[in-house]
Amino acid sequence: MSPADIHQQLVRQFGDKITGANVTALDPWVEVAPAAIVEVGTYLRDDPALLFDALNDLCAVDYFEPDAKKAAKFAHQPHVEVVYHLYSYTLKHHLKVKAKLPRWKNDQAGELPEIPSVSKVWLIGEWHEREAYDLMGITFTNHPNLRRILCPEDWEGHALRKDYDFPLEYHGIRGQ
Amino acid sequence: MAITLEDPRVIEFDVRTDEMLVNMGPQHPSTHGVLRLLLRTDGEVIYEVTPHIGYLHRCAEKIGENLSTPQWIPYTDRMDYLAGMNMNLGLALAVEKLVGMEVPEKAMVLRVIIAELNRIASHLVGMGAYGLDLGSFSPFLYAFREREIILDLFEEACGARLTYSYITIGGLTHDVPASITIPSGLAALTRRSPSMKLSWLEALEMFLSWLEPRILEYHTLLTENAIFIKRTAAIGVLSREKAISYGCTGPVLRGSGVDHDLRRDGEKIYTRMYEGYEFEVPVAPFKKAPPEVILGDNWCRFYVRMMEVVQSIKLIRQGIQKYAKAEGTYRVPYKMTTKLPVAEAYLETECPRGQMGFYIVGNGEDKPLRARAKSSCFCNLSVTSELCQGCLIADIPAIVGSLDIVMGEIDR
């Protein structure tokens, strides 16, 4: 099935929950409304024509330019994107699914944006989402165990955010 | 008659055991680096295993956002430090996919040779260390004797023994040398004069013909060893469905019976390197397996690695043949300051431990907006708690060892 066909099928099934697509990109992608990600994910995994049984990667990208001078030329609106790289071992095809979130919930700095967890759909989602929470600061609702995974539990901030302040000190250990 | 706990006869003889929390690691010798496993046990039986990772975390992805992509290559060496070449290759191919770069034929042939040679070195460590986990010391010494020669050869080719940065965007940093002095280890093993001069590829060929018969010895030492089979067969069984859902890749996935290898089933930009090569993908179940073995257990995962070494030898031999006829040069230049397009590319390659993915988001500058390294061991390790439930404490080194993890890659 070509990426365009997959997109068409998803639009037929979910209507305006599919908020965008680029089927001619290097890795063709479909954009999904964050609230519908579990529903769409389950459909992608179980539909006999799609059968995306593997979540190869889940990561988040921060589209933001902290430098005010460069921000004018920045090609994107500030937002955070959760990117799901799917693969089907049965049908051997790929799909990238994206979900756009605001950088901060209700535009309140420090309030983490929310998206439902896909850890029930693909088991590996649990660890990848913990990593995305740890490094990018995204809350995955209904996650069974949303703790930091790579940084210590008492770490402050989320390192992959573009406006992250590097800590000067951690438990008496001085940084740069 | 059903006996309840309230029955006085039972209480008299009831030995009450409390649940115990045991920390295994982060300095435990059998956890392959700084991995901490928190075990909840009842006596010897495991109820729950919680892996705690992150002791080697240095946020390589943030570093990657502050460097141009060729500058990030040395950092990929330090992810899976047992297979640095394969890590370099993964990033180089991802960037080539993003900028739409063509690599000359000669570079592709050399990349196959180098990547497969590193796969052998990595699987040798995997095999040796696994023997060590299970209390068998000698395979480790043999494995390191062999690996030493591979490292000598890498040193002749690129100057480094562990962190190579040899495969780079557009090809490789150097061609393989036309004339070298035979590595001393190889000279000793093959009884040649230590001052013998030969080309790098001849030395490689000499090493391969020395290595190939040795694999039978490893099988005698480990694979067919009765103690080894008792420790590995039917322990840590991972079903096909669980393996896929947990995102397991590489030998762990193939040990569970999924016939998938990116060198054959991957994206075009990667598989075209392997076009014209003949090789098989070893997948469990195996005809030669002892009767105790179950599909997806420790033994299967170990055996997949052993069989991959044989296939890699085959691939390198074909690569050496192709190198003589290959056209083009070993590298097309790629400037350090090349601006990445406003686009994104994700590419997975078959590394010794599984599918390593690099995801680069370009933003019209030389530095990427996002540089993501998806670790294969990270996914393979996530399955530990599933595998260890209900097994004995002594089985944990056998299970974790069979996943063959490298913490540098998990923590990034």
Which residues in chain A touch residue B267, judged by CB atoms under 8 angstroms apart?
94
The reply to whether A170 falls in a domain is no
pTM for the complete prediction? 0.88
Query: Higher confidence at residue A107 or residue B205?
Result: B205
The reply to whether B42 falls in a domain is yes
pLDDT at B4: 57
B98–A25 C-beta distance less than 8 A: no
pLDDT at B122: 93
The total number of structural domains in chain A stands at 1
Which residues in chain B touch residue A54, judged by CB atoms under 8 angstroms apart?
244-245, 247
B54–A151 C-beta distance less than 8 A: yes
Report the CATH number at residue B327: 1.10.645.10
The reply to whether B26 falls in a domain is yes
Pairing of strands A94-101, A29-32: parallel
DSSP string spanning B246-284? TT--THHHHHTT----HHHHS-HHHHGGGTT-------S
The reply to whether B33 falls in a domain is yes
Longest dimension (CA), chain B: 86
Please state, in angstroms and rounded to a whole number, the distance separating the CA atoms of residues B271 and B294: 31
B149: its two tokens: 């020669």
The reply to whether A36 falls in a domain is yes
pLDDT at B91: 93
Find the closest chain A residue to B342 by CA distance.
Answer: A75
| Of the partner residues B61, B244, B382, the one whose CB lies closest to the CB of residue A160 | B61
Q: Which residues of A125-147 are buried (b: 16+ CB within 10 A; e: fewer)?
A: bbbbbbbbbbbbbbbbeebeebe
Element (H, E) at A101: strand A94-101
Longest dimension (CA), chain A: 57
The count of CB pairs under 8 A between chains A and B is 91
HSE-up (13 A, CA, CB side) for residue A59: 20
Nearest to A127 by CA among A44, A176, A40, A55: A55
The reply to whether B2 falls in a domain is no
The reply to whether B287 falls in a domain is yes
A27–B247 C-beta distance less than 8 A: no
Find the closest chain B residue to A55 by CA distance.
Answer: B247
The domain containing residue A105 runs over which residues?
Answer: 3-162
Report the CATH number at residue A55: 3.30.460.80
In this prediction the ipTM stands at: 0.90
B385 by DSSP, 3-state: which? helix
The total number of structural domains in chain B stands at 1
Q: Where are the alpha helices (DSSP H) in A32-142?
A: 37-46, 68-71, 125-136
Helix axis angle, B84-99 relative to B105-133, nearest 10°? 140
Instruction: Give me the mean pLDDT over the A96-119 stretch.
Output: 88
B53–A55 C-beta distance less than 8 A: no
**Interfacial residues of B (vs A; Cβ cutoff 8 Å):** 53-54, 57, 59, 61-62, 65, 97-98, 242, 244-247, 258, 260, 265, 267, 342-346, 348, 355, 357, 359, 361, 363-364, 369-370, 372, 374, 378-379, 382, 411-412
pLDDT at B1: 47
Instruction: Give me the mean pLDDT over the A138-147 stretch.
Output: 91
A59–B369 C-beta distance less than 8 A: no
| Of the partner residues A53, A96, A149, the one whose CB lies closest to the CB of residue B244 | A53
The reply to whether B230 falls in a domain is yes
B359–A83 C-beta distance less than 8 A: yes
pLDDT at A98: 92
The reply to whether B3 falls in a domain is no
Nearest C-alpha of chain B: how many angstroms from A174?
A: 16
The reply to whether B1 falls in a domain is no
pLDDT in tens, chain B (412 residues): 455 556 555 555 556 667 888 888 787 766 677 888 888 888 888 888 999 998 889 889 999 999 999 999 999 999 988 999 999 999 999 999 999 888 999 999 999 999 999 999 999 998 888 988 888 888 889 999 999 999 999 999 988 989 999 999 988 998 888 888 888 888 888 888 888 889 999 999 999 999 999 888 888 888 888 888 988 988 889 999 999 999 899 999 999 989 999 998 888 889 998 988 999 999 988 888 888 888 889 999 999 999 999 999 999 999 999 988 888 888 888 888 888 898 899 999 999 999 999 999 998 888 999 999 999 999 999 999 888 888 888 888 889 889 888 888 998 8
| Of the partner residues B65, B247, B412, the one whose CB lies closest to the CB of residue A55 | B247
